[in-house]
Structure 1
Amino acid sequence: MLGNEALPIRCAVASLVFVGAATCLAPAFAYRPFDGTDAAVADPGELEVELQPAGVLGEQGTRTLIAPWTVLNFGLEGGWEAVFEGRGETPLGPSGPTELIDAAASLKHVLVPGSLQDKTGPSVATEFGVLLPDSTGNSGVGASWAGIVSQRWDWGTVHFNVETALTRDHHADAFVDTIIEGPSKWKVRPVAEVFYEKEFGLEETVSGLVGLIWQASDKLAFDVAYRHAVTNGHPVNEIRAGLTFAVPLRFFESAHVK
């Protein structure tokens, strides 16, 4: 387990490594800054990185630095993708130690190729995985399963997520989410997200997000968003900003050549 003093340094190093990797990019479309996801996976032999170098969350008089928030998507054959994610949290007011939280490992699979795969009709995918313990506290191991439906039109794209989980504290959890994006051909497109989540016996959250995604090129996308939520009757405000890029996996390409 990482020590509290080492975590901020390692988080900063990880951010620099990921940003530096952007010099050898492959095409990517951002699915930051959302809590939900889309019914698509990375291409085989591609590592797609979703990175938030820094964000700020305010709740009940406290501020927390969210840095880095990282999702690694490894494209596999047959419409599969391996996903590894987690984020660092450092209390700012009052200050406190950095924690690694919300770490998870999962598999995502496109069940029905559709408009996100340049075919007709909705794209349908599923994602299931293991929720890993936080770096501090007494959290355990959990599990999650989600169903995702996406449809792209000329005017925009809609993604619908339904997820159920057994949390790290072994509570049942339900999550329903809708993402709406502007036209995919726009260089800068507006985005919005609304979700409802209930962790039974513990908390209930209604959340709304608005933001922008700037497709700087077919190889790089930046995002910025503001989220306002109400959890158990008290407000939560969050600023998110990050980038998405993809890197070809050389060892995967070498294996296919052989």
Structure 2
Amino acid sequence: MSAKCPCLRRSAQHLALGSILTLSLLAWCNPARAYRPFDGTDAAVAAKGEMEIELQPAGRLRDERGTTLIAPATVINYGLTEDWEAVLEGQAQTPLSPMGPTSLTAAGAFLKHVLVPGSLQNKTGPSIATEFGVLLPDSTGSSGVGASLAAIISQRWDWGTIHLNAETALTRDQHGDVFVGAILEGPSTWTVRPVAEVFYENEFGKEQTISGLVGLIYRVRDNLSFDVAIRHALTNAHPVNEIRAGLTFGFPLSFFEGHATQREASPILPR
């Protein structure tokens, strides 16, 4: 095909626009408050009209069944109002040893609501929130639909922040489940802050897990953070070891709306 073909010109323009938008997401964003690399969460929501994305490009998990690649793992948060957000999450798992097919797991759709604004909202006292929603079936196996309901309490001091999580659920396998955990962070003003998490989970009639995680969060700027952590757990007395690394960023959807409006208002020039 000729290099002057209009189709190729349009493809090149679309590629360039996509590259510009991708770079803009990292350069022009509102502060992101979604939390990696934890299993629990915090008592805060995304600002109204803001999208927050937690992304783990690749992680490694090893348990009694072998080694599994977690790639990618994604959580998408969207601020509906000042105190409500919608959450979508899921991850792809690929068994490496022994080899196996890739499957979509840990998918869910949730709503999160700040019941009592507190220190995470620049007010006094603890922040209190709830999160509830639907656990979606895995892409393989015979799992069904589940549901969960969680309570979150967060308190920030000059020396650090604590987030307490308590959750009850009906799992995808139709078992009752309880989860209690605590997240501890270093001072929020530090560029690199140490973090830790411990939790206990009991999926009745199936398995019990005691887990501990330590890691670091590197805040490049208010709108972009990177994280790395290692987790060790015992599930039914069998060791589980995991390496997690990823990033968190956010952006206002008005950014795209503004570009769309500008494009519609621009005159169409002859070629």
Partner of 1:5: none
Write the distance in 2 (CA, Å) between the matches of 1:60 and 1:235: 7
Post-superposition shift, 1:75?
0.5
* Contact residue 33 and residue 44 of structure 2 kept, 8 A: no
Partner of 1:129: 133
User: Is 2:164 the counterpart of 1:160?
Assistant: yes
Partner of 2:45: 41
Partner of 1:250: 254
Q: Select 1:182's aligned residue among 186, 192, 205.
A: 186
User: Which segments of 5 or more consecutive residues in structure 1 lack a partner in the other structure?
Assistant: 1-15
User: Is 2:106 the counterpart of 1:82?
Assistant: no
Partner of 2:16: none
Q: Select 1:215's aligned residue among 212, 219, 238.
A: 219
TM-score, with length taken from structure 1: 0.89
The structure-2 alpha-carbon separation of the partners of 1:165 and 1:95, relative to structure 1 and needing over 3 Å to count, comes to: same
Partner of 1:229: 233
Write the distance in 2 (CA, Å) between the matches of 1:147 and 1:38: 10
Q: Select 1:69's aligned residue among 66, 73, 79.
A: 73
Map 1:133-152 onto structure 2 (within 5 A). Answer: 133-152=137-156
Give the match's secondary structure for 2:111: strand
User: Which segments of 5 or more consecutive residues in structure 2 lack a partner in the other structure?
Assistant: 1-18, 262-271
Write the distance in 1 (CA, Å) between the matches of 2:177 and 2:26: 36
Give the match's secondary structure for 2:26: helix
Say what the alpha-carbon RMSD is for the aligned residues.
1.9
Greater Rg by CA = 2
* Contact residue 40 and residue 110 of structure 1 kept, 8 A: yes
AA aligned to 2:226 is F
AA aligned to 2:59 is G
* Contact residue 45 and residue 252 of structure 1 kept, 8 A: no
TM-score, with length taken from structure 2: 0.85
Map 1:86-97 onto structure 2 (within 5 A). Answer: 86-97=90-101
* Contact residue 208 and residue 227 of structure 1 kept, 8 A: yes
Post-superposition shift, 1:25?
2.6
1:194-248 Cα deviation digits (max 9, x unpaired):
0000000000000000000000111100000000000001000000000000021
AA aligned to 2:250 is A
Runs in 1 of length 4+ with deviation above 3 angstroms? 18-21, 251-254
Post-superposition shift, 1:22?
2.6
Write the distance in 1 (CA, Å) between the matches of 2:256 and 2:78: 11
Partner of 1:59: 63
Write the distance in 2 (CA, Å) between the matches of 1:137 and 1:106: 23
1:39-69 Cα deviation digits (max 9, x unpaired):
0000000000000000000011611000100
Write the distance in 2 (CA, Å) between the matches of 1:103 and 1:29: 21
User: Is 2:110 the counterpart of 1:106?
Assistant: yes
Write the distance in 2 (CA, Å) between the matches of 1:81 and 1:159: 18
* Contact residue 32 and residue 244 of structure 1 kept, 8 A: yes
- The farther-off stretch of 92-101 and 223-232 is 92-101
Write the distance in 1 (CA, Å) between the matches of 2:212 and 2:22: 28
Write the distance in 2 (CA, Å) between the matches of 1:24 and 1:66: 29
1:136-166 Cα deviation digits (max 9, x unpaired):
1000000000000000000000000000000
Post-superposition shift, 1:252?
9.0
Write the distance in 1 (CA, Å) between the matches of 2:128 and 2:257: 28
Write the distance in 2 (CA, Å) between the matches of 1:29 and 1:46: 11
Post-superposition shift, 1:71?
0.1
The structure-2 alpha-carbon separation of the partners of 1:182 and 1:251, relative to structure 1 and needing over 3 Å to count, comes to: closer
Write the distance in 2 (CA, Å) between the matches of 1:61 and 1:172: 23
AA aligned to 1:195 is F
Give the match's secondary structure for 1:133: coil
